[in-house]
Protein backbone atom coordinates (compact mmCIF):
# COMPACT_ATOMS: atom_id res chain seq x y z
CA UNK A 1 0.00 0.00 0.00
CA UNK A 2 2.70 2.45 1.01
CA UNK A 3 4.81 1.61 -1.98
CA UNK A 4 1.77 2.11 -4.14
CA UNK A 5 1.39 5.63 -2.79
CA UNK A 6 5.08 6.31 -3.09
CA UNK A 7 4.85 5.31 -6.70
CA UNK A 8 2.09 7.85 -7.18
CA UNK A 9 4.12 10.71 -5.76
CA UNK A 10 5.92 11.24 -9.04
CA UNK A 11 2.83 11.61 -11.23
CA UNK A 12 1.07 13.71 -8.58
CA UNK A 13 3.87 16.21 -8.14
CA UNK A 14 4.61 16.36 -11.84
CA UNK A 15 0.91 16.56 -12.62
CA UNK A 16 0.45 19.53 -10.31
CA UNK A 17 3.43 21.33 -11.78
CA UNK A 18 2.27 20.61 -15.32
CA UNK A 19 -1.16 21.80 -14.19
CA UNK A 20 0.39 25.16 -13.38
CA UNK A 21 1.48 25.43 -16.99
CA UNK A 22 -2.01 24.44 -18.14
CA UNK A 23 -3.41 27.14 -15.90
CA UNK A 24 -1.42 29.84 -17.68
CA UNK A 25 -2.43 28.38 -21.05
CA UNK A 26 -6.09 28.51 -20.04
CA UNK A 27 -6.13 31.87 -18.33
CA UNK A 28 -6.23 33.97 -21.49
CA UNK A 29 -8.99 31.88 -22.99
CA UNK A 30 -10.94 32.11 -19.75
CA UNK A 31 -10.60 35.91 -19.66
CA UNK A 32 -11.86 36.32 -23.20
CA UNK A 33 -14.67 33.85 -22.69
CA UNK A 34 -15.72 35.62 -19.50
CA UNK A 35 -15.26 39.22 -20.61
CA UNK A 36 -15.89 39.30 -24.34
CA UNK A 37 -18.08 36.14 -24.38
CA UNK A 38 -16.01 34.84 -27.24
CA UNK A 39 -14.59 31.36 -27.50
CA UNK A 40 -11.26 32.22 -28.99
CA UNK A 41 -10.50 29.17 -31.07
CA UNK A 42 -7.21 30.81 -32.04
CA UNK A 43 -5.91 30.95 -28.47
CA UNK A 44 -3.78 27.84 -28.84
CA UNK A 45 -2.25 29.28 -31.98
CA UNK A 46 -1.50 32.57 -30.23
CA UNK A 47 0.41 30.54 -27.63
CA UNK A 48 2.41 28.79 -30.34
CA UNK A 49 2.92 32.07 -32.20
CA UNK A 50 4.52 33.40 -29.03
CA UNK A 51 6.74 30.31 -28.88
CA UNK A 52 8.00 31.02 -32.38
CA UNK A 53 8.43 34.74 -31.73
CA UNK A 54 10.47 33.85 -28.68
CA UNK A 55 12.54 31.43 -30.73
CA UNK A 56 13.38 34.15 -33.24
CA UNK A 57 14.20 36.70 -30.57
CA UNK A 58 16.25 34.20 -28.63
CA UNK A 59 18.34 33.27 -31.63
CA UNK A 60 18.73 36.87 -32.75
CA UNK A 61 19.86 38.23 -29.39
CA UNK A 62 21.54 35.02 -28.16
CA UNK A 63 19.60 35.20 -24.96
CA UNK A 64 17.46 33.01 -22.75
CA UNK A 65 13.79 32.50 -23.61
CA UNK A 66 12.65 34.01 -20.33
CA UNK A 67 14.47 37.23 -21.20
CA UNK A 68 12.69 37.38 -24.56
CA UNK A 69 9.44 37.91 -22.64
CA UNK A 70 10.45 41.57 -22.33
CA UNK A 71 9.79 41.87 -26.06
CA UNK A 72 7.28 39.08 -26.63
CA UNK A 73 4.70 40.21 -24.09
CA UNK A 74 4.30 43.72 -25.55
CA UNK A 75 4.35 42.33 -29.08
CA UNK A 76 1.59 39.84 -28.34
CA UNK A 77 -0.43 42.51 -26.53
CA UNK A 78 -0.33 44.70 -29.61
CA UNK A 79 -1.33 41.80 -31.87
CA UNK A 80 -4.19 40.90 -29.55
CA UNK A 81 -5.41 44.49 -29.33
CA UNK A 82 -5.55 44.93 -33.09
CA UNK A 83 -7.16 41.54 -33.70
CA UNK A 84 -9.95 42.39 -31.31
CA UNK A 85 -10.37 46.03 -32.23
CA UNK A 86 -10.38 45.72 -35.98
CA UNK A 87 -11.60 42.18 -36.55
CA UNK A 88 -13.40 40.41 -33.72
CA UNK A 89 -15.31 43.43 -32.40
CA UNK A 90 -16.90 43.75 -35.81
CA UNK A 91 -18.52 40.33 -35.68
CA UNK A 92 -19.48 40.23 -31.99
CA UNK A 93 -22.89 41.75 -32.64
CA UNK A 94 -23.72 39.17 -35.30
CA UNK A 95 -24.61 36.42 -32.85
CA UNK A 96 -22.79 33.53 -31.28
CA UNK A 97 -21.57 31.65 -34.34
CA UNK A 98 -19.85 34.25 -36.56
CA UNK A 99 -17.24 35.22 -33.92
CA UNK A 100 -16.59 31.52 -33.30
CA UNK A 101 -16.05 30.90 -37.00
CA UNK A 102 -13.86 33.99 -37.46
CA UNK A 103 -11.67 32.82 -34.59
CA UNK A 104 -11.55 29.39 -36.21
CA UNK A 105 -10.45 30.95 -39.49
CA UNK A 106 -7.87 32.99 -37.63
CA UNK A 107 -6.52 29.84 -36.08
CA UNK A 108 -6.03 28.20 -39.47
CA UNK A 109 -4.44 31.36 -40.89
CA UNK A 110 -1.96 31.57 -38.02
CA UNK A 111 -1.05 27.90 -38.35
CA UNK A 112 -0.37 28.21 -42.03
CA UNK A 113 1.64 31.40 -41.70
CA UNK A 114 3.81 29.65 -39.12
CA UNK A 115 4.09 26.67 -41.43
CA UNK A 116 5.19 28.87 -44.34
CA UNK A 117 7.73 30.79 -42.32
CA UNK A 118 9.10 28.11 -40.04
CA UNK A 119 8.55 24.84 -41.96
CA UNK A 120 6.89 21.86 -40.28
CA UNK A 121 10.01 20.94 -38.29
CA UNK A 122 9.82 20.47 -34.55
CA UNK A 123 11.29 23.33 -32.53
CA UNK A 124 12.07 23.90 -28.89
CA UNK A 125 13.35 26.76 -26.76
CA UNK A 126 16.40 24.94 -25.49
CA UNK A 127 18.21 26.40 -22.51
CA UNK A 128 20.65 25.24 -19.91
CA UNK A 129 17.81 24.31 -17.57
CA UNK A 130 15.97 22.22 -20.14
CA UNK A 131 17.41 18.93 -19.00
CA UNK A 132 18.21 19.69 -15.37
CA UNK A 133 16.34 17.97 -12.60
CA UNK A 134 16.24 18.41 -8.86
CA UNK A 135 16.23 15.25 -6.79
CA UNK A 136 13.54 15.28 -4.15
CA UNK A 137 13.46 12.81 -1.26
CA UNK A 138 15.81 10.49 -3.03
CA UNK A 139 13.18 8.82 -5.24
CA UNK A 140 11.86 11.68 -7.33
CA UNK A 141 13.55 13.82 -9.93
CA UNK A 142 11.75 17.07 -10.59
CA UNK A 143 12.42 18.66 -13.97
CA UNK A 144 13.54 22.24 -13.35
CA UNK A 145 11.47 23.51 -16.27
CA UNK A 146 8.30 22.24 -14.63
CA UNK A 147 9.20 24.27 -11.57
CA UNK A 148 9.84 27.34 -13.71
CA UNK A 149 6.49 26.80 -15.41
CA UNK A 150 4.68 26.62 -12.12
CA UNK A 151 6.35 29.72 -10.72
CA UNK A 152 5.83 31.64 -13.96
CA UNK A 153 2.19 30.70 -13.97
CA UNK A 154 1.57 31.71 -10.37
CA UNK A 155 3.43 34.98 -10.83
CA UNK A 156 1.34 35.90 -13.87
CA UNK A 157 -1.89 35.04 -12.13
CA UNK A 158 -1.01 37.07 -9.04
CA UNK A 159 -0.05 40.07 -11.17
CA UNK A 160 -3.26 39.79 -13.18
CA UNK A 161 -5.45 39.53 -10.13
CA UNK A 162 -3.78 42.60 -8.65
CA UNK A 163 -4.41 44.46 -11.88
CA UNK A 164 -8.07 43.47 -11.87
CA UNK A 165 -8.67 44.45 -8.26
CA UNK A 166 -6.54 47.58 -7.94
CA UNK A 167 -6.74 49.61 -11.13
CA UNK A 168 -9.57 51.57 -12.69
CA UNK A 169 -8.98 49.76 -15.95
CA UNK A 170 -9.13 46.38 -14.25
CA UNK A 171 -12.37 47.25 -12.52
CA UNK A 172 -13.80 48.63 -15.74
CA UNK A 173 -12.98 45.35 -17.48
CA UNK A 174 -14.73 43.39 -14.76
CA UNK A 175 -17.69 45.76 -14.90
CA UNK A 176 -17.97 45.34 -18.67
CA UNK A 177 -17.84 41.59 -18.20
CA UNK A 178 -20.71 41.74 -15.67
CA UNK A 179 -22.97 44.02 -17.69
CA UNK A 180 -21.83 45.63 -20.92
CA UNK A 181 -24.76 48.05 -21.17
CA UNK A 182 -24.47 49.30 -17.62
CA UNK A 183 -20.71 49.71 -18.05
CA UNK A 184 -21.30 51.98 -21.03
CA UNK A 185 -23.57 54.09 -18.86
CA UNK A 186 -20.60 54.59 -16.54
CA UNK A 187 -18.65 56.18 -19.38
CA UNK A 188 -16.76 53.03 -20.32
CA UNK A 189 -16.09 52.44 -24.00
CA UNK A 190 -16.61 48.71 -23.97
CA UNK A 191 -15.25 48.14 -27.46
CA UNK A 192 -11.88 49.49 -26.36
CA UNK A 193 -12.17 47.55 -23.12
CA UNK A 194 -12.63 44.35 -25.10
CA UNK A 195 -9.54 45.12 -27.15
CA UNK A 196 -7.56 45.76 -23.97
CA UNK A 197 -8.83 42.49 -22.52
CA UNK A 198 -7.68 40.67 -25.63
CA UNK A 199 -4.33 42.42 -25.37
CA UNK A 200 -3.96 41.14 -21.82
CA UNK A 201 -5.07 37.65 -22.80
CA UNK A 202 -2.50 37.66 -25.58
CA UNK A 203 0.06 38.80 -23.05
CA UNK A 204 -0.67 35.71 -20.98
CA UNK A 205 -0.45 33.69 -24.18
CA UNK A 206 3.05 35.12 -24.59
CA UNK A 207 4.08 33.83 -21.17
CA UNK A 208 2.37 30.51 -21.88
CA UNK A 209 4.08 30.26 -25.27
CA UNK A 210 7.55 30.79 -23.84
CA UNK A 211 6.95 28.29 -21.04
CA UNK A 212 5.45 25.74 -23.42
CA UNK A 213 8.39 26.20 -25.76
CA UNK A 214 10.84 25.59 -22.94
CA UNK A 215 8.97 22.49 -21.78
CA UNK A 216 7.90 20.72 -24.96
CA UNK A 217 8.71 20.69 -28.64
CA UNK A 218 6.29 22.57 -30.84
CA UNK A 219 5.22 22.63 -34.47
CA UNK A 220 3.07 25.09 -36.43
CA UNK A 221 0.12 22.73 -35.92
CA UNK A 222 0.47 22.29 -32.16
CA UNK A 223 -1.94 25.16 -31.44
CA UNK A 224 -5.21 23.18 -31.44
CA UNK A 225 -3.77 20.73 -28.91
CA UNK A 226 -3.27 23.57 -26.47
CA UNK A 227 -6.61 25.04 -27.42
CA UNK A 228 -8.36 21.94 -26.18
CA UNK A 229 -6.25 22.00 -23.03
CA UNK A 230 -7.13 25.67 -22.55
CA UNK A 231 -10.79 24.91 -23.09
CA UNK A 232 -10.55 22.03 -20.64
CA UNK A 233 -9.03 24.37 -18.06
CA UNK A 234 -11.81 26.90 -18.63
CA UNK A 235 -14.56 24.30 -18.42
CA UNK A 236 -13.18 22.49 -15.41
CA UNK A 237 -12.22 25.69 -13.62
CA UNK A 238 -15.31 27.68 -14.50
CA UNK A 239 -15.54 31.23 -15.73
CA UNK A 240 -14.75 34.48 -14.10
CA UNK A 241 -12.27 33.51 -11.45
CA UNK A 242 -8.52 33.47 -11.96
CA UNK A 243 -8.07 31.08 -9.08
CA UNK A 244 -10.71 28.72 -10.47
CA UNK A 245 -8.88 28.65 -13.77
CA UNK A 246 -5.65 27.85 -11.99
CA UNK A 247 -7.31 24.97 -10.14
CA UNK A 248 -8.80 23.80 -13.43
CA UNK A 249 -5.25 23.60 -14.75
CA UNK A 250 -4.09 21.60 -11.75
CA UNK A 251 -6.95 19.11 -12.06
CA UNK A 252 -6.31 18.64 -15.74
CA UNK A 253 -2.57 18.22 -15.25
CA UNK A 254 -3.12 15.69 -12.47
CA UNK A 255 -5.70 13.78 -14.50
CA UNK A 256 -3.34 13.54 -17.44
CA UNK A 257 -0.33 12.26 -15.55
CA UNK A 258 -2.34 9.87 -13.42
CA UNK A 259 -4.05 8.61 -16.57
CA UNK A 260 -0.65 8.11 -18.19
CA UNK A 261 0.59 6.36 -15.06
CA UNK A 262 -2.22 3.83 -14.96
CA UNK A 263 -3.07 3.34 -18.63
CA UNK A 264 0.20 4.03 -20.36
CA UNK A 265 1.76 7.13 -21.87
CA UNK A 266 -0.51 7.01 -24.91
CA UNK A 267 -3.44 7.87 -22.69
CA UNK A 268 -2.08 11.05 -21.14
CA UNK A 269 -4.14 13.34 -23.38
CA UNK A 270 -7.09 10.97 -23.37
CA UNK A 271 -7.73 11.19 -19.63
CA UNK A 272 -7.77 14.99 -19.93
CA UNK A 273 -10.34 14.79 -22.73
CA UNK A 274 -12.53 12.40 -20.80
CA UNK A 275 -12.56 14.73 -17.78
CA UNK A 276 -13.47 17.59 -20.12
CA UNK A 277 -16.33 15.63 -21.70
CA UNK A 278 -17.69 14.56 -18.33
CA UNK A 279 -17.69 18.12 -16.99
CA UNK A 280 -19.17 19.42 -20.27
CA UNK A 281 -21.98 16.91 -19.96
CA UNK A 282 -22.90 17.40 -16.35
CA UNK A 283 -21.86 20.94 -15.52
CA UNK A 284 -21.03 22.92 -18.63
CA UNK A 285 -20.60 26.09 -16.60
CA UNK A 286 -17.59 24.61 -14.83
CA UNK A 287 -16.87 22.95 -11.51
CA UNK A 288 -15.92 26.13 -9.70
CA UNK A 289 -18.59 28.38 -11.16
CA UNK A 290 -21.09 29.83 -8.75
CA UNK A 291 -24.72 28.87 -9.11
In angstroms, how far apart are the furthest CA atoms of the chain? 62
Q: Rounded to an integer, what is the distance from CA 32 to the centroid of its chain?
A: 11
* Least CB distance to other proteins at residue 277 (A): 6
- Assess 102 for contact with other proteins (CB under 8 A): yes
- CA-CA distance, 197 to 163, in Å (whole number)? 12
Applying CB under 8 A, which part among 20-28, 51-59, 103-111, 153-161 lies near other proteins? 103-111
- Assess 186 for contact with other proteins (CB under 8 A): yes
- Assess 21 for contact with other proteins (CB under 8 A): no
- CA-CA distance, 164 to 112, in Å (whole number)? 35
* Least CB distance to other proteins at residue 183 (A): 7
* Least CB distance to other proteins at residue 37 (A): 9
70: exposed, middle or buried (C-beta count within 10 Å: 0-12, 13-18, 19+)?
exposed
The one among 24, 36, 39, 75 contacting other proteins by CB under 8 A: 39
Nearer to other proteins, 10 or 98 (CB): 98
Phi-psi region of 143 (alpha: psi -120 to 50; beta: other; left: phi over 0): beta
* Least CB distance to other proteins at residue 270 (A): 4
The one among 71, 82, 147, 171 contacting other proteins by CB under 8 A: 171
Give all strands (DSSP E) within 125-247, no chain letters: 133-136, 140-143
- Assess 12 for contact with other proteins (CB under 8 A): no
**CA distance to 90, 195, 248, 277, 289, per residue, from 85 (Å):** 8, 5, 29, 33, 29
- CA-CA distance, 213 to 218, in Å (whole number)? 7
- Assess 270 for contact with other proteins (CB under 8 A): yes
**Applying CB under 8 A, which residues contact other proteins?**
39, 87, 90-91, 94, 96-98, 100-102, 104-106, 108-109, 111-113, 115-116, 168, 171-172, 174-175, 177-179, 181-190, 224, 228, 231, 235, 240, 264, 266-267, 269-270, 273-274, 276-277, 280-281, 284
Amino acid sequence: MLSFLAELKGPIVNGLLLGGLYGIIGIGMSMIFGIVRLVNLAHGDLVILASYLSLVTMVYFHTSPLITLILIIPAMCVIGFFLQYYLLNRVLAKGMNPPLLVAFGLSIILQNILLLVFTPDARALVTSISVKTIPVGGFLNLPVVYLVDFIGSITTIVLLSRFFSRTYLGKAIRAASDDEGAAQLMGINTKTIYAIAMALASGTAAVAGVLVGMTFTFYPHTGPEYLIIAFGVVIVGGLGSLLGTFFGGLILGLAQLLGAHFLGPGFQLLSGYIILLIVLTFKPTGLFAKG
